[in-house]
Amino acid sequence: MKNILMVASEAVPFIKTGGLADVVGSLPKCFNKDEYDVRVIIPKYLCMPWHFTCQLEYITNFYMYFAGMNRYVGLFKLVHEGVTFYFVDNEHYFGGPKPYGDTKWDIEKFAFFSRAALSALPVLGFKPDLVHCHDWQTGLVPVYMKDSFRGGEFYANMKSIMTIHNLKFQGVWDIETIQGISGLSDYYFSIDKLAVKKDANMLKGGIAYADFVTTVSETYAEEIKTEFYGEGLNGLLWARRDSLCGIVNGIDYDEYNPATDERIPFKYNDINFRKEKVKNKRALQQELGLEVNDKKMMIGLVSRLTDQKGLDLVAHIMDELCQDDVQIVVLGTGEEKYENMFRYFDWKYGNKVSANIYYSEDMSHKVYAACDAFLMPSLFEPCGLSQLMSLRYGTLPIVRETGGLRDTVKPYNEFESQGTGFSFANYNAHEMLAAIRYAEKVYYDRKREWNKMVDRAMAEDFSWNTSARKYENIYSWLIGW
Ligand code: ADP
Ligand code: GLC
């Protein structure tokens, strides 16, 4: 049996701000249980839903020296759908109203979490062969493993993987502050380790010290070695190219299944979608106050509202798009300028545009099920899960050909009757509009072709089956069995 510990800042169903939580919550279920004991450790946030918090089983606590004093580390546990989740408790750090906020505070919070997660292992009686870290919040884990946790039998030979879900966020502050917080010696703050000019970079530490680095699609693995996508770390990623690979994300096929989904009003499958899927559209049109009309093409957008998601392109052509025979349903929260932009178009084109500026798991499923097409014109996209959810619900993605979007959506080829969606190459608003209008044309003029594309979209397999095997191979290779 190989023991694997995943360390992350979020995991469904306990706490989620984006796709990272989906991955950390669903991937561990998909390993071969006879060979891998995969457990997860996350912070015990005070803002976690109470129906989970009250189920956690208290294990023990200890004190750990960190950032100038001895600090409380409480440990809790819950077995959820066959996977053991551990939770690190410290209300000083994890007591806020949401997981992330002020950058400097987040850096201290997750440096604490990283150190606490490693320190907890002997107490938990779980000795991983490999520690699998996710994103900048856990960047110090591989560093600590090569530093203070190096000596002694328990941590000897423990391997580490750093998975990059989003290179944009790196956990950067001045060297003095990060050194003070982390307790790492001067040795670590040179340019080939954590330092970037006068700053220290937690993700850089993880990438430099992990035994292996992965990211969440093959295309993104190539992109991040270039200056445009590399966010200043392309040099290091290029240097580590022989220990870097892309493994495309999957989604939870039980949670996202139109045939069994309790969150949508009308269930459907790949056989009866022609008749049944549209009932979800009708219900959503009624619920959101849009014109109730089965025949109107409905385009969805479910997203964090940040510049990563290509919303500047959308803002640019929204007036033009709204002259077309389409309905647009947006669900998202984020930067105020984008929230207000969608509110404005909702006000201006009330029966065509519905801006839902909030976070709701239920509403996201309804949008995936109800819409005909799904818009995701990202500036960059490490993998993207929303387009995978759309494919699963027979809602055809319209995407920019970048990162995981390029790897998961096959562009429509009308001559060979191939493809599962529509795509465009350049970050250009009118190129995007042309792709949307091409989709409109197929939808309105060649409905049989459209439906065949839905057939193909729903037949795709983006469950974790394939990708979990790829992680298993890397685990086995690193552990050396
Ligand atoms: P990212 O991780 O960059 O935000 P992904 O496409 O990988 O993008 O994952 C986004 C996840 O967050 C999906 O599960 C999507 O359905 C969900 N999501 C985003 N915004 C909302 C929202 N306002 N309400 C509900 N779910 C949302
Ligand atoms: C990040 C990326 C997204 C990816 C997700 C899960 O949030 O922005 O593209 O799907 O992580 O890996």
**Is 264 within a domain?**
no
Q: Give the CA distances from residue 252 to residues 46, 90, 163, 471, in Å, rounded to whole numbers and listed in that order.
A: 26, 30, 19, 16
Reported as type and span, the H/E element at residue 290 is: none
| Residue 324 sits in the same domain as residue 368 | yes
The ligand minimizing its distance to the Cα of 252 is 1
Query: Domain residues for 430?
Result: 273-460
**pLDDT one-digit tens code per residue, 307-325:** 999 999 999 999 999 999 9
| Residue 310 sits in the same domain as residue 410 | yes
- Provide the β-strand partners of residue 422: 398
- Ligand 1 residue neighbourhood (C-beta within 6 Å): 18-20, 22, 302-304, 331-333, 359-361, 364, 384-386
For every residue of 330-395, DSSP letters joined together read: EEEEE-HHHHHHHHHHHHHTTTTEEEE-S--HHHHHHHHHH-SEEEE--S--SS-SHHHHHHHTT-
Q: Give the chain's domain count.
A: 2
Residue 224 carries which DSSP code?
A: T
| Residue 245 sits in the same domain as residue 366 | no
- The whole-angstrom separation of Cα 148 and Cα 185 is 10
**Is 62 within a domain?**
yes
Mode of pairing for the β-strands spanning 244-246 and 297-305:
unpaired
| Residue 238 sits in the same domain as residue 305 | no
| Residue 379 sits in the same domain as residue 474 | no
| Residue 219 sits in the same domain as residue 313 | no
- The whole-angstrom separation of Cα 199 and Cα 172 is 6
Closest CA to 121 of 112, 131, 135: 131
Does ligand 2 have an atom closer than 6 angstroms to the CB of 249? yes
Residue 219 alpha carbon to ligand 2 centre in Å: 13
Does ligand 2 have an atom closer than 6 angstroms to the CB of 20? yes
CATH number of the domain residue 62 falls in: 3.40.50.2000
Does ligand 2 have an atom closer than 6 angstroms to the CB of 388? no
The 10 Å CB-count burial string (b at 16+, else e) for 89-107 is bbeebbebeebeeeeeebb
Q: What per-residue confidence (pLDDT) applies to 150?
A: 87
Per-residue pLDDT of the chain (481 residues; tens, 9 = 90+): 999 999 999 999 999 999 999 999 999 999 999 999 999 999 999 999 999 999 999 999 999 999 999 999 999 999 999 999 999 999 999 999 999 999 999 999 999 999 999 999 999 999 999 999 999 999 999 999 999 898 889 999 999 999 999 999 999 999 999 999 999 999 999 999 999 999 999 999 999 999 999 999 999 999 999 999 999 999 999 999 999 999 999 999 999 999 999 999 999 999 999 999 999 999 999 999 999 999 999 999 999 999 999 999 999 999 999 999 999 999 999 999 999 999 999 999 999 999 999 999 999 999 999 999 999 999 999 999 999 999 999 999 999 999 999 999 999 999 999 999 999 999 999 999 999 999 999 999 999 999 999 999 999 999 999 999 999 999 999 999 6
**Is 305 within a domain?**
yes
Ligand 2 pocket: which of 385, 390, 409 to mutate (most atoms within 8 A of CB):
385
Reported as type and span, the H/E element at residue 400 is: strand 396-400
Place of tokens 């290029």: 238
| Residue 13 sits in the same domain as residue 144 | yes
**Is 259 within a domain?**
no
Does ligand 2 have an atom closer than 6 angstroms to the CB of 16? no
**Is 257 within a domain?**
no
Across 178-334, the runs of DSSP E, i.e. the strands, are 195-196, 199-201, 212-215, 244-246, 297-305, 326-334
**Is 263 within a domain?**
no
Ligand 1 pocket: which of 386, 390, 392 to mutate (most atoms within 8 A of CB):
386
Atom 10, ligand 2: which residue's CA is nearest? 384
Across 81-113, the runs of DSSP E, i.e. the strands, are 83-89
Closest CA to 133 of 237, 209, 29: 209
Residues 6 or more apart whose CB falls under 8 angstroms from that of 334 comprise 303, 304, 305, 306
Residue 311 alpha carbon to ligand 1 centre in Å: 15
The ligand minimizing its distance to the Cα of 12 is 1
Residue count of the chain: 481
**Is 382 within a domain?**
yes
Tokens of 303: 């997203």
User: What is the model's pTM?
Assistant: 0.97
| Residue 197 sits in the same domain as residue 310 | no
| Residue 168 sits in the same domain as residue 140 | yes
| Residue 79 sits in the same domain as residue 197 | yes
Atom 5, ligand 2: which residue's CA is nearest? 19
| Residue 473 sits in the same domain as residue 421 | no
Does ligand 2 have an atom closer than 6 angstroms to the CB of 216? yes
**Is 324 within a domain?**
yes
- The whole-angstrom separation of Cα 214 and Cα 134 is 10
Q: What are phi and psi of 145, to 5 degrees?
A: -65, -30
| Residue 333 sits in the same domain as residue 296 | yes
